[in-house]
Amino acid sequence: MARFLRADNVAFKPYAYERAALSLETLNKDVGEIYREGGTKALLEIPGVGKAIADHIEEYLKTGKIKHYEDFKKKLPLKLDDLVRVEGMGVRKAKILYQKLGIENLKDLEKAAKAGKIAPLFGFGEKTEKNILQGLEFLKRDKGRFLIHEILPTARKVAESLKKLKEVDHISLAGSVRRRKETIGDVDILVVSKSPAKVMDYFVKLDGVEKIWGKGGTKASIRMKEGFDMDLRIVKKESYGSALQYFTGNKDHNIVTRKIAIDRDLKLSEYGLFKGKKQIVGATEEDVYKAIGLPYIEPELRENEGEIEAGLVGKLPKIIGYNDIKGDLHCHTSSSDGENSIEEMVKAAEDMGYEYIGISDHTKTLGVANGLDEKKLLRQREEIERIREKLKKQGRKIAVLHGCELNILKDGSVDISNSVLEKLDYAIASIHSLMKMPKAEMTKRIVRAMENPNVKIIGHPTARLIGERDEIQLDFDKILEVAKKTGTILEISAQPKRLDLRDIYIRRAKNEGVKMVINTDAHQKEQLNLMEYGISQARRGWAEKEDIINTNSVEELLKNFK
């Protein structure tokens, strides 16, 4: 709806729909359930859902359709959802291309761009045409993979419901989901059961199963309505560990572990570790690793990127745990483009058990996000001071820090004056524009931002969007050198589309002794829950607790800011 409204140049409403969509996506409960329990009144309690949208939701739940939306689709029969995934293709462009060239889908778009039909159109030009072709290439590269957060909640739900069956003795997610890779091909689930047929029957009849690819004695494969596949394998108790090790992968990690077994005159397979025909171990992963001379290796490390070599000499890192984070320093509020008030964010952070939360709204040059200028930042500062007093009176312990998310301008300066920044607890600086600068210039730009004593953190440093936008060109060694020298902290954004820094960069930062912070960049209180994905990424990058500054108490944290 937001897209269609935007294509029609309707003001405000598109944002309202987007806000509501974001709310629905991050609900902890199915909206159908909410409606069944509390009717439209309950719907109206969902953040961002007003009367009109609540009616639409009701209509959809009752009829499976929304007339308003169907009318839009008839008027503009485009594959808009596909088209806007091409970087640089907004809905308005898509509408013009439909009207002028009859482009309805990605195929049409590619044909027209390759034939040079887009460049001559008013407002498009050679550069846009070239960008469209680049964007199309990018989409193709990532075809068929899903972002981890599009998968993990469903995978967990399925595992939970299987776990409740009395026929299921043990269950675990395996494959790339267990390794918490940033994109997932399919979900692998492993079960121990003495009655495989019953478990299998239940599995293929789960809610949301769209297709059954196959169902044999110990393996079944299904397609979920969201578009991804799930493989279920059933193994015997005595093989659970070796099967879990095998199906967790990745493949290269497996090849090496198997080779190590061979070197010891053993044979490792999904069925167990064997000496000749005799199974030595197999029930737990720990047993399997130990029997081939390795400590237990956390799934996030199993990529054959040196973890086996490190394990053999007892040099595996003690990676950060999922409960080690004490606060989130990158949070937006309704003062800029967030959904919730400061107090609502604070409450949500308390509910997560945090010791502190940092408020970091956008600043003035990010007009689309309603960025704050100096005056508004200072006013926010006063508001935060009032909130602190109130919290104190109520005996609430959570610390509220005041920061902001600056824009790094073309020359590396930032868009708020230092005299104001000095009054804040910290500032994050991020790249939000001019992403295609050449490497040397881009590096200089970020270096200059890091040299600003008030810039404590660089937000989502490479600015990539998984499957949509390549990272910016950076001399990362130089970035690390300056980060170290200036004491600037690099962010690991937990936004599932960003997961930026990537694992390999995290590892390089850690090796250079550069500190990092895991933040969610929450634009809505529910998004504080995304932290988990950032921690996974940090673990995949071998980061330890000491490498991540928001594992510290608030006092330590403030002391360690440059």
Task: Provide the binding-site residues for Ca ion, judged by CB under 5 A.
Answer: 175-176, 186, 188, 231
DSSP 363: B
141 touches ligand DGT by CB under 6 A: no
Question: Considering only residues 10, 27, 197, 255, which one is a binding residue for ligand DGT as defined by CB under 6 A?
Answer: 255
Question: Considering only residues 91, 184, 416, 458, which one is a binding residue for ligand DGT as defined by CB under 6 A?
Answer: 184
251 touches ligand DGT by CB under 6 A: yes
Q: How far apart are CA 411 and CA 445, in angstroms?
A: 6
- Cα angle for residues 12, 28, 532 (degrees, 5° grid): 100
Residue nearest to ligand DGT (CB): 249
Backbone angles phi, psi at 466, to 5 degrees: -55, 125
Question: Which tokens sit at 98?
Answer: 């439909």
Q: Say which entry of ligand DGT, Zn ion, Ca ion, none residue 521 contacts (CB below 5 to 8 A, set by partner kind).
A: Zn ion
| Smallest distance from Zn ion to CB 350, Å | 21
Residue nearest to Ca ion (CB): 175
Of 57 and 489, the one with the shorter C-beta distance to Zn ion is 489
The footprint of Zn ion (CB under 5 A) covers 405, 521
| Smallest distance from ligand DGT to CB 262, Å | 13
185 touches ligand DGT by CB under 6 A: yes
Question: Which tokens sit at 517?
Answer: 């912070």
DSSP 206: S
Question: Considering only residues 249, 282, 327, 496, which one is a binding residue for ligand DGT as defined by CB under 6 A?
Answer: 249
Question: Considering only residues 188, 285, 328, 532, which one is a binding residue for ligand DGT as defined by CB under 6 A?
Answer: 188
CA atoms within a 13 Å half-sphere pointing along the CA-CB vector of 241: 19
Q: Which residues on adjacent β-strands are paired with residue 428?
A: 405, 457
Q: Which residues on adjacent β-strands are paired with residue 363?
A: 372
- CA distances in angstroms from 196 to 191, 236, 243, listed in the order given: 9, 10, 15
- Choose one: 65-73, 185-193, 327-335, 501-509; the region binding ligand DGT (CB under 6 A): 185-193
Q: Pairing relation of β-strands 209-215 and 219-224?
A: antiparallel
- Choose one: 119-127, 249-257, 465-473, 535-543; the region binding ligand DGT (CB under 6 A): 249-257
Site for ligand DGT in 227-246 (CB under 6 A): 246
- Is residue 513 a contact partner of residue 490, using CB atoms and an 8 Å limit? no
Q: How far apart are CA 494 and CA 67, in angstroms?
A: 36
Q: Say which entry of Zn ion, Ca ion, ligand DGT, none residue 255 contacts (CB below 5 to 8 A, set by partner kind).
A: ligand DGT
| Smallest distance from Zn ion to CB 333, Å | 11
Question: Considering only residues 131, 254, 336, 550, which one is a binding residue for ligand DGT as defined by CB under 6 A?
Answer: 254
Nearest to 83 by CA among 42, 113, 63: 113
Q: How many other CB atoms sit within 10 Å of the CB of residue 75? A: 11
- Is residue 172 a contact partner of residue 194, using CB atoms and an 8 Å limit? no
Of 186 and 355, the one with the shorter C-beta distance to ligand DGT is 186
Of 405 and 547, the one with the shorter C-beta distance to Zn ion is 405
Residue 435 parent element (H or E): none
218 touches ligand DGT by CB under 6 A: no
- Is residue 408 a contact partner of residue 437, using CB atoms and an 8 Å limit? no
Of 89 and 152, the one with the shorter C-beta distance to ligand DGT is 152
| Smallest distance from Zn ion to CB 332, Å | 6
| Smallest distance from Ca ion to CB 152, Å | 12
- Count of residues that interact with ligand DGT, criterion CB under 6 A: 14
- Choose one: 247-255, 278-286, 430-438, 451-459; the region binding ligand DGT (CB under 6 A): 247-255
The interface mask with ligand DGT, positions 330-359, x = CB under 6 A, is ------------------------------
Q: How far apart are CA 514 and CA 479, in angstroms?
A: 10
| Smallest distance from Zn ion to CB 428, Å | 7
- Is residue 334 a contact partner of residue 344, using CB atoms and an 8 Å limit? no
**Residue type at position 85:** R
> What's the CA dihedral at 429, 432, 434, 438 to 10 degrees?
50
For the chain, how many residues are written? 562
Q: Say which entry of Zn ion, Ca ion, ligand DGT, none residue 361 contacts (CB below 5 to 8 A, set by partner kind).
A: none
Question: Considering only residues 175, 371, 496, 541, which one is a binding residue for ligand DGT as defined by CB under 6 A?
Answer: 175
- Is residue 495 a contact partner of residue 459, using CB atoms and an 8 Å limit? no
- Is residue 19 a contact partner of residue 339, using CB atoms and an 8 Å limit? yes
Q: How many other CB atoms sit within 10 Å of the CB of residue 116? A: 10
Q: Say which entry of Zn ion, ligand DGT, Ca ion, none residue 254 contacts (CB below 5 to 8 A, set by partner kind).
A: ligand DGT
Of 503 and 521, the one with the shorter C-beta distance to Zn ion is 521
Backbone angles phi, psi at 13, to 5 degrees: -50, -40
Residue nearest to Zn ion (CB): 521
Residues within the interface to ligand DGT (CB under 6 A): 175-176, 181, 184-186, 188, 246-247, 249-251, 254-255
